[in-house]
Each structure stands twice: as structure tokens, then as C-alpha cells.
Amino acid sequence: MANAPFRQSLASDTPQLMAWVTYGVPYVVEQMGEAGYDAVLIDRQHGLGDQSDLINCLTAARAAGLPALVRPLSPDAGLIGSALDAGAQGVVVPLIETADDAEACVRAVKYAPKGMRSWGPYRSQLMTPHDDLDVVNAWTIACVQIETKGAVDNLEEILSLDGLDMVLVGPNDLATALTGKRDIRASEVIEACDLILKKARERNVFAAIFANDIDYAKPLFEAGWDLITVGADMSLLAGAAGEVVRTFKG
């Protein structure tokens, strides 16, 4: 089964590195696979492109051997199902506040009896046979973002949900929610991230996190987060281009 080892890789003692693609360009996905990333997230919330671009990026991910997650525009069940039908192994759902919000996302990801995902797996059936829905539900990753004060306040209830596979922490939005500033190194943010990792481990839920840069990411690798992103394609390109300009033009 294509990409079946992803869940096992997440469960290993080695943090996995996930590329974050916002351009909606298939070649960028292929480049991330060539670079050696373990997985890729295609961002539809703050990224470019339409449904056709998403399908092309997911096709490129499959060709590159990258397990692919999609962040939909919102927690809408239709958008979640559309991403999964297009071939995403899982979704990372933003704008979660309560356990009810998170439960609705899980139900949108999983087929009955665990959920209410609508039938129509036009590309996802290429990745895993859909004649056994238990196998499909086990393969598919239901992930919600922890990036609001409400999500932190309701963390225990969210992590206790049956069928929730992973949480992803967005420190930028979390910093704004907890401090009113985009200070991802504020003590409140660091403490919240540590708490989320601790509680996720207690509940056997995978813990993922976004890091703006390598310096921020290093202690996350040491702490043993399961899945870590260091910058998005836009910031990586801008950073590399800026370094060239500074080197030669000052």
C-alpha cells in the first residue's frame, strides 16, 4: 500500500521532517521529495492555487513517494472530504476552538461507523483499497491545529476524542492568541507548546509543530516532536534569495 509506512514513521523515535508547500506548484512538491523530506503539507488555507492545482500537487507527492497532508481553507466537511478524495492521506484542520469543533473534523475524515465521510474516493482509492473501510480509516490521518486560546483551554477534551490521530501546533497564531503579539519565543507560548506535547504523548496522539526557522526548530527535534516543519516554500525561497542579494549587493 503506497505511503503505508507513514503512520509507523510517526510512531518511531525519530522526528519526521515535513515540507510545507504554499505555491500550489507540483514541481515544488517534487523538489521537496528530492531534497529528502519525509512528508509534505499542501496549504490551501494560506496558499495559492485551486482544486486542480491541489490534485496536481497530490499527484506529484505520490510520484515523489511523499505522504501528503492538506490544510483546507476552513473546518468545512465538504472541503475536508474533497481533499481526501483527491488523494491526501490526511488533513490538518485550522480554526479549532472546542472539542465539538475537533469531533466534527474527525467525523468528516473518517468513514462510518467512526465518522460521516461521504463516498467518492476518485484518487484516494489509488492509494488504499476502499473495500475495507476499517483499513482506510486507519490509514487516513485526522489532525487538528492547536493555535487558539480556546483549543489550549479545551486541550484535554480534544485529545480524548476517538479517531483523532494528530495535533499540529501553529506557534505564530498561538502567540497572537496568548500574548497579543507574534512573539513565538514568549514564555507563555513555549509553556503551551510543552504542555501540548506532554498531553499528546499521554493520549498517544501524534504531535506536529511548525517552526519559523532552524534555530527555533532545533530544540523541537531534541524534545522529540513527531512531525516538524521548518518554514514554508515561500519563506525558504525568500530567505535564500535575500542571502544572495545581501552577499553581493550588501
Enter the C-alpha cell of residue 198. 506532554
- 120, three cell numbers: 467518492
Judged by phi (left if over 0) then psi (alpha if -120 to 50, else beta), residue 169 lies in beta
Query: Do 44 and 74 meet the contact criterion of CB atoms below 8 Å apart?
Result: no
Task: Please answer whether residues 165 and 159 qualify as being in contact, where contact means their C-beta atoms are separated by less than 8 angstroms.
Answer: no
Terminal-residue alpha carbon distance, the chain: 51
Assess whether 46 carries a catalytic annotation. yes
Buried b (16+ CB within 10 A) or exposed e, 186-212: beebeebbeebbebbeeeebbbbbbbb
Q: How far is CA 190 from CA 80, 85, 154, 170, in A?
A: 30, 36, 18, 12
Q: Annotated catalytic residue: which of 11, 27, 35, 46?
A: 46
Catalytic residues: 46
